[in-house]
Chains A and B, each alone.
Chain A
């Protein structure tokens, strides 16, 4: 197996899973082929020439759940850890083309928290795109503050899509107008927009969907899922490569379902328990020296148009 196996379009599902499993610590890609694990540097992966044509390789970055304004026991300095995450982004050897923030920018949707977050997340060297988390939608206006700060260029309650180097990115809001007894919710208007948005695309277009709450049911008892995600996934079923990125649960979890890979990301503010591992979700207190290893950011490498995205997890340790 050589380094170029990361570009092999015939990776099996096990290989894909292993590749997606991520590896905390340094920027390395893990690939599996024929049961043998190998790693390679991200730069080597990007420098490798694709075996067949397709879009040029590029990376983008995911940051999530910065919770600016959080100052409780699980992390009295969430502002400081967000700044550390930003320093990591600025120090990346390979600059991301763009950055996705998958929600819970603020802790309590306050104007000053949105302003502070904007300042902390400035000068990153790449454009940043946001979707809201429920913490960004808890003002009296139920999202008015978020939309005032981040609504420009979006539709409805903050949906958006854009293309970058042949990849179609879709940002969804599944935290607005939630229903009693349910989980996260996209709503008919957003689903109708999504259908229209995807309609003109060819099935070979790689799709990246980003939203806050998982679009697959991670743990229903804690509300970690989206009621009407099946309708969104049905619209995505015809595409060969779909990557769904989310935050909310403050830990790395991945799942592959057919052509769709789901990945949840770490927070930069505080960890949460594994699904069902505690009586309830919520900020998890860990020893102070352990906290940075449970916070982090993620680089996603698009090494080939139709191959699954490779993820590089980086903690704040």
Chain B
């Protein structure tokens, strides 16, 4: 990527972030909320950070850094990954506020929590 295009992207991003919603509504453009992302590492048989607090709409991505497979499985089974081998990732977008406790269904002593707060 050239410096020019990187600068362009940054300017565009800033413009989007700065644009008041009324402007967008007036021009009938449906504005998606800026995509928020949060990463959680699965490393040495632990979720790190173990507890995260994110706004609604956040996409959380887990990446397994262990040689052993792991899963991300909601305690209430509302979301779950397949078994993730080393370097595999799993993403889930949390739209509703609440507390989402999860664990690794292969190594259930591994637990974590996503707190979604507006």
Contacts and interface: CB of A to CB of B under 8 A. Distances in A.
Contact of B111 (A134, A181, A183, A283): A181
A172 interface: no
Contacts of A179: 108
Contact of A222 (B45, B75, B101): B45
A55 interface: no
A108 B69 contact: yes
A282 B67 contact: yes
Interface in A163-204: 178-183
B103 interface: yes
Contact of A74 (B44, B67, B85): B67
Best-buried of B45, B85, B101, B108 by chain A (most CB within 10 Å): B108
A280 B44 contact: yes
A258 interface: no
A83 to B, nearest CB: 21
B71 A138 contact: yes
- Size category of the binding interface on chain B: 20 to 34
Q: How would you classify the secondary structure of chain B's contact residues: helix, strand, loop or mixed?
A: loop
Interface string A63-85: 00000000011100000000000
Given A108-B85, A180-B101, A180-B103, A283 B109 contact: no
Contact of B83 (A109, A178, A221, A280): A109
A138 B108 contact: no
A182 B109 contact: yes
A135 B44 contact: no
A178 B82 CA distance: 15
A107 B105 CA distance: 15
B108 A72 contact: no
A283 B67 CA distance: 7
Contacts of B111: 180-181
A282 B85 contact: no
Nearest to B105: A178
A279 interface: yes
A147 B114 CA distance: 34
B44 A282 contact: yes
B45 A280 contact: yes
A180 B75 contact: yes
A138 B69 contact: yes
B107 A223 contact: yes
A140 interface: yes
Contacts of A279: 44
B46 interface: yes
Contacts of A139: 83
A292 interface: no
A223 B71 contact: no
A268 B82 CA distance: 26
B97 to A, nearest CB: 21
A138 B71 CA distance: 9
Interface string A267-290: 000000000000111110000000
B83 A108 contact: yes
A135 B69 contact: yes
B108 A183 contact: yes
Contacts of B101: 180
